[in-house]
Amino acid sequence: MEAKIQPYQYHFIKKQVLTLVEAYQHVSDLTTLQALQSITADRIHEIVGHDYPEIANLIHTVSDITLRKNTANTILANFKDFVIPFEIPSKARLSKLFAKTKKLTVPDFAQQLDPRDLSYLGWNDPGQQQKFITAYHDDTLIGVQGHLATKTQPGFCAICQHHSEVSLFLATTPINYDGTYTKKGDYICRDSVRCNQQLMDPLNLWQFMENVQNK
């Protein structure tokens, strides 16, 4: 079985490794540094498991070598080789998913994004003040769309659970057959690329998508 990790796992690993690089800049005691290395390796193992020897070897390097910025970048690039890229849906598939939107504006994702960074695909249509979010849940493509406030402020994002530059997202969902609508929403990162880099647990993403759909 070929070794694989998910994008959110990669971002978790990256955060741990960069925190360790930070520690090297501030801590000089070798025993403390070795302990930090070992804790970091354990944390990574905890999230990626023990199934793949190639990944276990890579985790071992985290606790084995002196971590400087250069070596850290090499280690992270090696981890990235194992990431399962997000499968970006075709424009036709997105148009079907967001069928309520007559003229769906779909950016050229292939030019702009590294699919290995993505746990979900999110983009803004500033002209319409709309945000579109799509992700796979149990291999099914799901999507939510809604109004994105123009105002951006520092705050907590309901998707990535980080402090970030957030805007109020309000999904418009029909609640009755008589055509009345309810609006449910939350504050989320305006920039979905950044949000993906901060997303380390997809449960929060699925929870958010379910909550705003009012199901």
Instruction: Using alpha carbons, list the distances in angstroms from residue 14 to 22, 34, 161, 213.
Output: 12, 18, 17, 32
| Shortest distance, position 197 Cβ to Zn ion, whole Å | 9
**For residues 95 and 161, which CB has a smaller minimum distance to Zn ion in the complex?**
161
Take residue 54 and report the two structure tokens written for it. 């190639």
Please, which residue, 78 or 191, has the CB nearer to Zn ion?
Answer: 191
Please say which residue, 148 or 157, places its beta carbon nearer to Zn ion: 157
Token pair for 85: 């890229």
CB nearer Zn ion, residue 20 or residue 189? 189
Query: Closest distance between Zn ion and the C-beta of residue 12, in Å?
Result: 15
Contact between 40 and 58 (Cβ < 8 Å): no
- Integer-rounded Cα radius of gyration of the chain: 20
* Contact (Cβ atoms closer than 8 angstroms) between residue 88 and residue 55: no
What is the rounded CA–CA span in Å between residue 31 and residue 27?
10
Residues that bind Zn ion (CB under 5 A): 157, 159-160, 189, 195
Minimum distance, C-beta of residue 74 to Zn ion, in the bound complex (Å): 28
**Beta-strand relationship, 163-174 and 153-156:** antiparallel
State the nearest-atom distance from the C-beta of 112 to Zn ion, in Å: 18
100 by DSSP, 3-state: which? coil
Q: How far is the CB of 23 from Zn ion (least distance, A)?
A: 26
Nearer to Zn ion, 41 or 185 (CB): 185
**CB-based contacts of 59: which residues, under 8 Å, 6+ apart?**
41, 44, 45, 48
